[in-house]
Structure 1
């Protein structure tokens, strides 16, 4: 009898918290979500389509029978849907394929998740708002200015229509451990910051709330754990960093984080002309999650230092100059 008890205890040690399926697991947010659940002893299955990686499942989200088969086979308790076309200019130029991924694939995933009883977290965007009347609560009326925002809003609607227990998590511009500096609209500015011999115009009009992907990943995990205890957790949620900055101010904060000069950066206060329209200030009110005790915020300078240290051009020089 004691031997049997020992065996059961040993098995308990390796039983994970649950099974989670993550779409877009090679993307900036997807990688962080994958790692967060893995580090917290979940059984994680990540899917990807364009960027192939070991240990990840190749899945075309537009192939509804393949999605259905994978979900029926894996039977996840939670699905975090990170995959999306999130570049506003690309969405404007390729509206049909963007809508298929951002709306069509999300609708199908919502139906499949409902069929297996999985909690679906659909990652959405602050761009569902027009930015004229911040801060925006979860029940504020959306009014997207560009096609990207429209596809994400339509994705929200089809998810909630087809899956009563699903959650929508709206987040703003994200940054984190990028594989290439241009992978995030935040980190891409680091090149201009570092090339201090060349003056650079930086937008000082649009208000942003750069948000660390590790914080969003932590929020997804906390939501998943809460949902397993309390099925009433559903609907629309917001998460965001709380430091308000323009691109110019973000660039200056980056320079500050690495003790680099920023006098070559020039603030441009005019509204950008000719580009894909973007909301002036789509600040998200995060009180719904905060009231549940859910959240995590990393100070921007700490998060950006952690993310961009590998891309510091002068790193070798700094290390050798004093020896």
Structure 2
């Protein structure tokens, strides 16, 4: 399929988004990425763009002037957006993904995680776009891992329940959609606090005083770039094969607590870690978390739609080195 005329090109690079209006003939297809200012949204935009897709990125509160600004909780705005840009694929990354925030601001979180997802799924079905909804391992209670796609969900917190409701709305309104469940993510960040994984950098640097970190909850930190590649592969295959539908899991394979992640980060940057103290009791938090919600990812693997996850140490080094004191030197030498 080719499209000629005035096309909207959105160029992505770390920390920068650029939109250019130009006359082109586009041999590829259009993908609409919600939450394009977020950790995963940025990675998805780059992945699709680098593989010949025309990317249309949306944001709202954090939308830059050159991204499309859209309130996803406004049904008329969503309908108008899809009518104007006619995407072939929609990757729905936008969500309130911080469990403690969801507990405190439940109504706003449910509006985004459930109601906006329902609207997008309805409109995707109406316009014939393939719809890919990003969900979470927190739909499981963590008591009997690993979890396959057909295992019964039992979320422990409001965040997990909202994402599970989003899954159900997706598949109810758009039966040909894909739900992709993923664990805690990290990647190229604009601020280290953007991910629960990269935020450990602040703890690692507090070498002058001891710092306790959870050493109970088992996590599988996954690079957003790998998730983005899976999203593209799913989208490309699904457009050719209607059997690609329903629920899929993707996760890195390294099992780590927050304490172990922080120690690995310290070792990667040759920093001391003896100030990091493992906490072996469940940490106090407003939202309960599953102890181990490991995902069985064999469905993706059997269909050759998975990717080999990047090793944690090398991936986290890629993400955090710009925040080291010598970043300017490294940019000069290697970039």
Q: TM-score, normalised by structure 2?
A: 0.89
- 1:273 matched to which residue of 2? 284
Q: SS state of the match for residue 86, structure 1?
A: coil
Runs of 4+ in 1 over 4 A off after TM superposition: 314-319
Aligned length: 307
Shift of 1:197: 1.6
Do the aligned partners of 2:35 and 2:41 also contact (CA within 8 Å) in 1? yes
Shift of 1:17: 2.3
- 2:88 matched to which residue of 1? 77
Shift of 1:305: 0.4
CA distance in 1, matches of 2:78, 2:255: 39
- 1:136 matched to which residue of 2? 147
More strand by share: 2
CA distance 1:196–1:317, change in 2 (3 Å): farther
- 1:290 matched to which residue of 2? 301
Q: SS state of the match for residue 208, structure 1?
A: coil
More helix by share: 1
Shift of 1:16: 3.3
Kindly report which structure 2 residues correspond to 1:17-28, keeping only aligned pairs within 5 A, or say none: 17-28=28-39
Among 239, 242, 264, the residue aligned to 1:231: 242
Structure 2 residue 22 is the aligned partner of structure 1 residue 44: no
- 2:115 matched to which residue of 1? 104
- 2:16 matched to which residue of 1? none
CA distance in 2, matches of 1:226, 1:285: 21
Q: SS state of the match for residue 187, structure 1?
A: coil
State the Cα deviation string for residues 60-100 of structure 1 (Å, max 9, x = none): 00111110111012111100000000010110001111101
Gaps (5+ residues) in structure 1? 1-12
Among 44, 69, 72, the residue aligned to 1:58: 69
Structure 2 residue 323 is the aligned partner of structure 1 residue 300: no
Do the aligned partners of 2:189 and 2:319 also contact (CA within 8 Å) in 1? yes
Do the aligned partners of 1:16 and 1:43 also contact (CA within 8 Å) in 2? no
Gaps (5+ residues) in structure 2? 1-23
Structure 2 residue 111 is the aligned partner of structure 1 residue 121: no
Do the aligned partners of 1:127 and 1:282 also contact (CA within 8 Å) in 2? yes
CA distance in 2, matches of 1:211, 1:278: 17
State the Cα deviation string for residues 212-257 of structure 1 (Å, max 9, x = none): 0000000000101111121110000011110000000000111111
Shift of 1:301: 0.6
Among 257, 260, 271, the residue aligned to 1:246: 257
Higher Rg of the two aligned structures: 1
Do the aligned partners of 1:211 and 1:240 also contact (CA within 8 Å) in 2? yes
CA distance in 1, matches of 2:330, 2:62: 34
CA distance 1:147–1:257, change in 2 (3 Å): same
Structure 2 residue 312 is the aligned partner of structure 1 residue 312: no
Shift of 1:316: 7.1
Shift of 1:52: 2.2
